[in-house]
Structure 1
Amino acid sequence: MARTDRLMRLMDTLRRLPQPVTASRLSEETGVSLRQLYRDIATLRAGGALIDGAAGIGYTLVEDPALPPQSFSRIEIEALMLALSGLEQIGDDGLTQAGRNAMARIIATLPDAQARQAMHTVLRSWRRPDARPAVTIDMDLLREACWEEFSLQITYRDLREQVTERKIWPLGLSYGADKMMLLAHCRLRQDFRIFHVNRIEQLSRGEESFRPRRVGLLRDYVAQRRKEYAQAQR
């Protein structure tokens, strides 16, 4: 792991975990040895981070120079925490953890009173645990393919239980109340298709790049749907 990434992960862990947090817990969370952890703590302190504590006692992040002070109203804090609680229910563990890390950074910059409000919000999002079908593929790879614009090979079981092999250009993901959908351009059909993500049984990286065509394809898809809608209204 690169040094910068390692230090960023350590800072994220200090922001996220209840403090003081022991060196052994930090070592476990960040995946480094205790010896390396102590060196990284010293590096962060040298860079201006105010970290109280020592080995055998636990560490507390008192001040983080990388994060400027900021302030939110009570309802803005509630909105952010509500969005995070909704994120935790969509069935995408990587995205959920990213949301938690981002929220930890935000809370670390708040004044004490607002930080306490964030820990005790009154608004919550909830759904039945069985409301969303389980997703079994590598969601990190799927998101990366959308961002980096490379093709994917998928094995797909459609709603009639027919299994097909497809090469697609993934364009975007939609997280609904009870399902996750993928908009893609099917290279076999040379047309847009929408796939139920939970029905993708296998997923692997393809060899084809479609950069920089994603934005243009999305415009084409929106124009196509608008045309279909206008025709249906006649």
Structure 2
Amino acid sequence: MSRTHRLFQMMQTLRRLSPPVTARRLADEMGMSLRTIYRDIDALRGIGAVIDGEAGFGYTLIEDAALPPLGFEDDELEALVLGLRDVAVIGDPSLARAARSALAKIRARVPPRQAHRLQHAVLDAHRFAPQPVIRIDVSLLREATWDEVSVRFAYRDAEGSHTVRRVDPLGLVYLDRSNVLLAWCHLRNDFRTFRLDRMESLERTDLSFRPKRVPLLREHLDRIRCEIAPPAEDRARSD
């Protein structure tokens, strides 16, 4: 790891963890020696970061001179906090970490009054029904979806039947009780929705379906909307 990257990672860690952050905690988080942590704190202070504290008491990032302030209305800030905290609850591990990191970045760039408001927000997100355990690497699935390449995985349906599927991943949807993949399935030659917790042995292929993802996703979503929409006579009665 280069020194520049290490200093950047330390800033991110100071933003993410609840202050004050001890040197030992920083060393454990970053896999560094205490001597390196002390030296990097001095280096960050030397380039303009305002870091309060000292060895034995912990450190608090007061101001990051490298980042300009962001302007948000208070309601916008509340919406960001709630949305990112919800992602931290329902997202896969890498997405949850990204949400917490994004919150730390926002806190570092808003004015002090709003930073306090963000740190002690009155809104939070919880899910009392536990999410099913997901055994695949969802970050790999997201990457394949963006790159528009097919993936292959073993799948167990609601009846317990096992199949091997090759699909074109179109999008991920995070529902109340499960997370699902919207895809074009080559086995069924049709659109299908797959629960992530029923997928195993995910692998990325070299088969590209670019540039079909967006139009296929629109078609898939249109079909879902038609399937869940009430019949025309029901709609007429409700009017």
TM-score, L = length of structure 2: 0.81
Greater shift after overlay, 219-228 or 168-177? Answer: 219-228
Secondary structure class of the residue paired with 1:100: helix
| Partner Cα distance (1:74, 1:114) in 2 | 8
What's 1:120 paired with?
120
CA RMSD of aligned residues (A): 2.8
Shift of 1:124: 3.2
Larger mean CA deviation between 70-79 and 188-197 belongs to 70-79
Q: In structure 2, how many angstroms separate the alpha carbons of the residues matched to 1:163 and 1:108? A: 48
Structure 1 match to 2:73: 73
Unpaired segments ≥5 residues, structure 1: none
Structure 2 match to 1:193: 192
Tell me how far apart the structure 1 counterparts of residues 111 and 175 of structure 2 sit (CA, whole Å): 35
Q: CA deviation at 1:39?
A: 4.3
Q: What is the CA–CA distance in structure 2 between the aligned matches of 1:49 and 1:75, rounded to whole Å?
A: 29
Cα distance in 2 between the residues matched to 1:66 and 1:90? 32
Question: In the TM superposition, what is the alpha-carbon distance from 1:53 to its structure 2 partner?
Answer: 3.9
The residue matched to 2:66 in structure 1 has which SS?
A: coil
Alpha-carbon distance between aligned partners in 2 of 1:127 and 1:229, rounded to the nearest angstrom: 25
Alignment match, 1:27: 27
Give the match for residue 173 of structure 2: 174
Once the two structures are superposed, residues 134-191 of structure 1 have per-residue CA deviations (whole angstroms, 9 ceiling, x without a partner) of: 2222222222222233322211001121100111221210011122110112233333
Aligned to 2:45: 45
Whole-Å Cα distance in 2 between the matches of residues 174 and 149 of structure 1?
Answer: 17
Q: 1:153 to 1:107 in 2, by over 3 A?
A: same
Following superposition, the deviation at residue 61 of structure 1 comes to: 1.7
Q: Give the whole-Å Cα distance in 1 for the aligned partners of 2:54 and 2:125.
A: 39
Over the matched positions of the two proteins, sequence identity in percent amounts to 50
Contact 1:168 1:184 in 2 (8 A): yes
What is the DSSP-based 3-state SS (H/G/I as helix, E as strand, rest coil) of the residue aligned with 1:62?
Answer: strand
- The alignment status of 1:18 with 2:43, answered yes or no, reads no
Structure 2: unaligned runs, 5 residues or longer: 234-239
For 1:45-194, what aligned pairs fall within 5 Å after superposition?
45-130=45-130, 132-194=131-193
On the 8 A contact 1:182/1:196 being kept in 2, the answer is yes
The 2-side partners of 1:52 and 1:116 are apart by: 16
Residues 1:107 and 1:161: Cα distance change in structure 2 (over 3 Å): same
Q: Does 1:204 align with 2:182?
A: no
- Structure 1: 4+ residue segments shifted above 6 A: 226-230
Distance in 2 between residues matched to 1:37 and 1:209, nearest whole Å: 45
Aligned partners of 2:85 and 2:100 also within 8 Å: no
AA at the equivalent of 1:208 = L
